Amino acid sequence: MKPLTVTTTSATYPVVVESGALASLPDRLQALGLRGALWLVCDGAVAELYGAPLAERLRAAGHTVHTFSVPPGDASKSPAQLGELHTWMIAGGIERRDAVLALGGGVVGDLAGFAAATILRGVAVIQLPTTLLSMVDAAVGGKTGINHPLGKNLIGAFHQPRLVLADTDTLASLPPRALREGWAEVIKHGVIRDAELFEDLEHLANERGWSAQSPGGLWDAADAGLTAQLSDLIRRAVAVKVEVVSIDEFERGERITLNYGHTVGHAVEQLSRYGLLHGESVAVGMHAEAGIARLMDMCDGDLAGRQAALIHAYGLETKLPAYDIDAILALAMRDKKVQAKKIRWVLPTAIGSVLVRDDVPEELLRRALQA
């Protein structure tokens, strides 16, 4: 299958989404001319399952491979963990011709990508996402970074990868909850830009009889028809991200639309002390932000209803946890999208279309969140 291609002012690179993609990494590295040492950073949850075989395959192809395992979870996106990566690389003798391989979910992709962006003022990074969430979102676009106690993803850099290799076979080993959270970002891409993708997600859910009582979207390797349908939907969701990043690399315009659901979502995620997964928080945020759009008369109730039904069908919740609304709004004011002390909200007008608004009255925000 022909790779998707990100084309920006600073880089052009392929995004491969297919079964068995990891096996092609040695050949793809050779095609890219990357012959230095490889610094493989693995999520601890996949280090043995995918990291060890991948390192062995790369060594058999003649590469020098160093490996580092990062503890699973958002707590690893920290200055301390970043410092450990820097020390490991410097002590190991990293050179500018080397490359960092980020194998795992969005946490490893963000952390290892930021390490690659900052070590020796920048070395190449290859993104190897093994979760649905990272395939459709974090691995594409060059956003890297770590969290700060005052907010999520507030410290980082744009550092485009040389290659994104998303092997959909890895989704078969994901725990159900981790797989479900990724569908939030797939659904989001349908809402913001691809109405046909949204409708096909609905069609599959209806065809399979998925609902809030029987959540769908889970990977069944024994059902070839289902995995083919899911793989196609995933690739189309990735294509949305590729298109938006190619238009707006540094989030000065169009790329902000990818943050639909994230203003409330990031606040909810932080208030949960990361007990809620990122995709779970984004699903809640999408529902809340559709409610804001409804109160602003930007869309009708059918949009919010269809979106909520689809979120539920893919195994996610929409109910806002009982957090203090003042705390949510305070965290929203620290969001990266704040400009001139105004929150820029990404709000849906129709399935497949959103607008950015910075004139949402606080009283209306409170009504939407309370609802």
Catalytic residues: 121, 143, 185, 241, 251, 255, 259, 262, 266, 278
> Do 13 and 24 touch, CB atoms closer than 8 A?
no
CA atoms of 56 and 233, how far apart (whole Å): 32
Q: Which of 144, 161, 118, 173 is nearest to 28 (CA)?
A: 161
- DSSP calls for 54-120: HHHHHHHTT--EEEEEE-SSGGGSSHHHHHHHHHHHHHHT--TT-EEEEEESHHHHHHHHHHHHHGG
Convert 142-153 to b/e letters by CB count within 10 Å (16 or more is b): bbbbbbeeebbb
User: What end-to-end distance do the CA atoms of the chain give, in Å?
Assistant: 45
Identify any residues that bridge with 356 across adjacent strands, giving them in sequence order: 346
Q: Which of 151, 149, 146, 181 is nearest to 276 (CA)?
A: 181
> Do 306 and 202 touch, CB atoms closer than 8 A?
yes
- CB neighbour class for 188 (10 Å; exposed up to 12, middle 13-18, buried from 19): buried
Q: 278-295 and 262-271 are packed helices; what angle lies between their axes, rounded to 10 degrees?
A: 130
Q: Tell me if residue 43 falls in helix, strand or coil.
A: strand
CA atoms of 264 and 247, how far apart (whole Å): 25
